[in-house]
Structure 1
Amino acid sequence: MRGGKYNRMKDTYKQILMIDDDEDDFFLVNSLLQDVAPGQYHIEWASTYDKGIEAIEKKDHELYLVDYRLGKYTGLDILRHFKEMDYEAPVIMLTGKGDYAIDNEAMMAGASDYLVKGEITGPELERAIRYGIMEFAHLRAIAENRKKYFGIFEKSHDLIILADCNKNIIDANPIAEKKLQYDRDELMTMNLKHLFLQEVQALQFLLEICEDDAIVQKEYTFKNKHGQKLDVVVNASKLDEQLGTFLCVAEDITEKKREEQEKRQQEKFVVSGRIARVIAHEVRNPLTNILLAVGQFRLEDALKEAEDSQLYLDIIERNCTRINQLVTELLQSTRMMELRLQEHPVNQLVNKALALAEDRLQLNGIQLITRLAGEHATVMADDEKMNIALLNILINAIEAMEPGQGVLTVSTEETEGKINIYITDNGAGIPEENKARLFDPFFTSKSKGTGLGLTSTQNIIINHRGNIDVDSTVGAGTQFTITLPRASAPLP
């Protein structure tokens, strides 16, 4: 019974191991400690280097008192063994009087403190042990927090960026480097404002973070190294008031927004198709009757002699035919089509469309810049229909630019099971109120356009299980982005 009580009391003690080949020194140290702090510490004794190593291997003690001289070994050998084990614990070295070089060497080797034999007092011994245990616990907590922080920093799926008081970037996690397509050294030369696609947003962000010290769940548009946009939701705040450092965490929602837009486009496309079929049915029947009536009138003898009547009949017939043609085009531009899908290198499709647009490019003095992905980037496509879609966009881009001043940039990119085609011009741009209606049937800003070209283009892309997106700034230009499933990626 007494043994059980002793063991329970022992469990409440701070466990200390003393490695010393002099039993008198052990007795003295133990007595001093029990006199100053009775019932708080339990000291075990290892009388040799080997016994000390054996006890250390068990990792049962919170602190180690180690004599510097241990026969043919030294306390430094004990410290080296700690490192070989990759075991961290506070070690107080016991040295002889005047061994200042040894004291310094012990501290450099990893000892937390040293005490001089013959000069040790009870309070000094207890304080050194208590501080050694407390400091080690504190340092271990800091190390664990640092490890946890760097784990979050390195492995986070969000962009994490640190900036100094001048908003210059001082650190960024790997995902930020990947998403922004800058290497670390490049990011370290940039300011937070350089991340934004639009200067107005950058100035607004910097103003708000300085006034409010925090930005919570606010949406912005970043740009990567190549000028391509990233839609992000940002949380930003001051990290250290004295240093003035800022923490910016940005969630990339580009793909989420793309999927939402794709869903809206498909829903809109279905509705447009239904409307087109209703219009075709309701308009074609009266048109057929009108054309039949016109045919009958032409057979009338009285009307044959009247020139004006023939002129009016021609006008009626010609416009009825035109209306019928527009209805047919509307149906074709909104109907789910049968595709002859084959695997094609995306660059081959792009180059074929560019070859057909070459005359227009030369006549208008347009400079062409291409940045194409490797030939391994392939898509499943109906090359004829995809050629129509690409050519429609290329022609729109050419017509939007000033002759002799236009720059057309066409690039392809492979990303995570998708192939992106970017067609960018430096033309007049599209007003914000027109962007939402860009793919609507019969919507056009051209004097002679039918407004069905982009509707047909969108239909072709959607039928290829793809998506088309438009980003435009008035006075700066427009970028069309076509996203298609990579050939090896299964179609949804």
Structure 2
Amino acid sequence: MREVRVLLIDDDEDDYVLTKGIFDEVSNRYAFYWVNSYEKGISAILKKQYDVYLVDYRLGKGTGIDLLTEAVNSGCEQPIIILTGKGDTTIDVQAMNIGAADYLIKDEIDSSTLDRSIRYAIKQAETLKALKSSESKYKAVFEQANDPILISDQSGKIHDINNGGLKFFGYSRSAIMKLQDAAIFKNLNDREQFGTLLEKNGSLVNFECELISGQGIVSYCSLSSFIQTDMVNLSEVYHTIIRDLSYRRNKEERSVNLGKMSISEHIAKGLGEEIRDPLSTINLAIDELASDNDITGNETVQSYIEIIKNNCNKVNRLVQNFISSTETKTLNLQRHNIVEVIEAAISDTEDLMTGHNIKLIKELVPYEQMILIDKPKIKNVLISVIMNAIEAMHSYPKTISITSTIDKDVYEIAVADTGTGIESQNSEIIYEPFFTTKKRAGGLGLTHAQRVLTTHNGSIKFKPLANGSLFLIQIPIYHESKLWI
């Protein structure tokens, strides 16, 4: 068994003699030493020369509490036991609060008491050292982790968040510490369900929900959390690791969209052929009927024939537009300045906006790098979305806001209006062919826009506003020509 080096710091030689006598009765595993001043004692502590320190409360120049405070502030990890000539509860509490391992009254010390106090003090010091080491490792992992890690509690109070979390949510530390954790959940029902499941099970793995940043960016995330008891504050806290699944979800949505596009293209072509055959027969019959000598002079019949022909042509054009909107055509990809493409789309709709007394707010982020796109198709997408915004506004004030941002390898265009908005039950079907809530509208504009952006590996997303609608158009910025076409 390793010898334990014990240092007595006491300016009274008589106390040294008495204490040494007690040690002589204790197991020989202790090596006992003595210094007789505050200065020598603190020097020995700072040099970490001993395993345990017995410090007298009265040291002439200073007190044992002063020495204890200086030692703790200097990072002393060895246990310090305070000795005093008489019991004083105030000194006892003060010593323990600062970090003393024990508090002993000299007149009550015997070999058994001293041996037990030293053994317990060493064990406690080893435990605290292990805890500090574990805490230090956890802190390093906590701070250096790329994934956001959040520490909160059942009430929603945020206790801590790592640098990855601050970057992900876009808050400063002081700002997010003032919030409740419900502020990062897009839907409050998700926060309630998260807390309920965590309290019930004690841990939670891969709870999927949408979180929102300070800038309003919504991310689809997976939360894994467990409950831990905070021994300092005697309370339970949630340790939550957040993984951003937006990329995975976007890939899944794109896969679904590609599947839907393939099916709709197949259906459109088949339906087009089925409609065109009877239309051709009707048109042929109408032409024969119109040339009949018995009715060529009948203006009423001729006017009805003209109406039938016009409507047949309209049906034919509708079928052609439907087929065209569902066809996957090879993209003519070239490098273009995306800001110039947006400006061109705005220019083509500007007269209509002026005619409807619509205020245009435009904030486009300049981007000098050329983006690989099919310019006419992207321009038509932008025109279609702007036209939808124009047609959605029926009362004043009428405002269209067109802004852009750059996030990593994506150029995002936001088109917002102050129109009637889209009802929640329709938000999932607005890209379906022929869906429309407008009179005399074909319902193919957004279908075509989604198809064009999907073939560019981009996307179009709808977000409801308090007054109006917002469409986010995302176009990837490719540094290499790797596109699905």
Q: Same fold (TM over 0.5)?
A: yes
Contact 2:53 2:79 in 1 (8 A): yes
Do the aligned partners of residues 396 and 416 (structure 1) sit closer, same or farther apart at CA in structure 2, a change above 3 Å counting?
same
Q: CA–CA distance in 2 between the matches of 1:230 and 1:66?
A: 64
Q: CA–CA distance in 1 between the matches of 2:359 and 2:185?
A: 27
Q: CA–CA distance in 2 between the matches of 1:248 and 1:99?
A: 49
Do the aligned partners of residues 206 and 477 (structure 1) sit closer, same or farther apart at CA in structure 2, a change above 3 Å counting?
farther
1:231 aligns with 2:192: no
Contact 1:356 1:391 in 2 (8 A): yes
CA shift, 1:341, in A, is 1.9
Moved more, 295-304 or 425-434: 295-304
CA shift, 1:268, in A, is 0.8
Aligned Cα root-mean-square deviation (Å) = 4.2
Q: CA–CA distance in 2 between the matches of 1:361 and 1:395?
A: 9
Q: CA–CA distance in 1 between the matches of 2:125 and 2:326?
A: 72
Q: CA–CA distance in 2 between the matches of 1:261 and 1:297?
A: 52
Structure 2 unaligned residues grouped into runs of 5+: 9-15, 84-105
Which of 388, 402, 407 in structure 2 is aligned with 1:396?
388
Q: CA–CA distance in 1 between the matches of 2:402 and 2:440?
A: 27
Instruction: Give the equivalent residue in structure 2 for 1:49.
Output: none
Q: CA–CA distance in 2 between the matches of 1:415 and 1:336?
A: 28
Q: After superposition, where does 1:84-483 map in structure 2 within 5 Å? A: 90-92=51-53, 98=59, 101=62, 103=64, 106-107=67-68, 108-109=70-71, 110=76, 112-113=79-80, 122-123=111-112, 125-163=114-152, 167-197=156-186, 201=189, 216=204, 219-234=208-223, 246-247=237-238, 249=240, 250-375=242-367, 379-472=371-464, 476-483=467-474
CA shift, 1:351, in A, is 3.0
Moved more, 334-343 or 145-154: 145-154
CA shift, 1:409, in A, is 3.2
Q: CA–CA distance in 2 between the matches of 1:196 and 1:79?
A: 51
1:336-365 CA distance string (max 9 Å, x none): 223222333443333332333333333334
State the number of aligned residues: 442
Q: Which amino acid aligns with 1:180?
A: F
Which of 466, 472, 475 in structure 2 is aligned with 1:484?
475
Q: Which amino acid aligns with 1:409?
A: S
Q: CA–CA distance in 2 between the matches of 1:362 and 1:202?
A: 44
Q: Which amino acid aligns with 1:174?
A: N
The normalised TM-score by structure 1 is 0.74
1:406-427 CA distance string (max 9 Å, x none): 3433332333433332223333
Do the aligned partners of residues 286 and 165 (structure 1) sit closer, same or farther apart at CA in structure 2, a change above 3 Å counting?
closer
1:175-224 CA distance string (max 9 Å, x none): 332222121222123233433445x6489569959997979565544332
Do the aligned partners of residues 379 and 15 (structure 1) sit closer, same or farther apart at CA in structure 2, a change above 3 Å counting?
farther
Contact 2:6 2:50 in 1 (8 A): no
1:37 aligns with 2:4: no
Do the aligned partners of residues 289 and 425 (structure 1) sit closer, same or farther apart at CA in structure 2, a change above 3 Å counting?
same
Contact 1:367 1:407 in 2 (8 A): yes
Contact 2:5 2:51 in 1 (8 A): no
Q: Which amino acid aligns with 1:112?
A: P
Q: CA–CA distance in 2 between the matches of 1:94 and 1:433?
A: 76
CA shift, 1:405, in A, is 2.0
Do the aligned partners of residues 97 and 296 (structure 1) sit closer, same or farther apart at CA in structure 2, a change above 3 Å counting?
closer
Structure 1 unaligned residues grouped into runs of 5+: 1-12, 21-25, 44-64, 83-87
Q: CA–CA distance in 2 between the matches of 1:381 and 1:300?
A: 54
Do the aligned partners of residues 145 and 407 (structure 1) sit closer, same or farther apart at CA in structure 2, a change above 3 Å counting?
farther
Do the aligned partners of residues 402 and 489 (structure 1) sit closer, same or farther apart at CA in structure 2, a change above 3 Å counting?
farther
Q: Which amino acid aligns with 1:482?
A: I
Q: CA–CA distance in 2 between the matches of 1:379 and 1:395?
A: 24
Q: CA–CA distance in 2 between the matches of 1:421 and 1:135?
A: 61
CA shift, 1:101, in A, is 2.8
Instruction: Give the equivalent residue in structure 1 for 2:88.
Output: none
Instruction: Give the equivalent residue in structure 2 for 1:16.
Output: 4
Contact 2:203 2:227 in 1 (8 A): no
CA shift, 1:450, in A, is 0.5
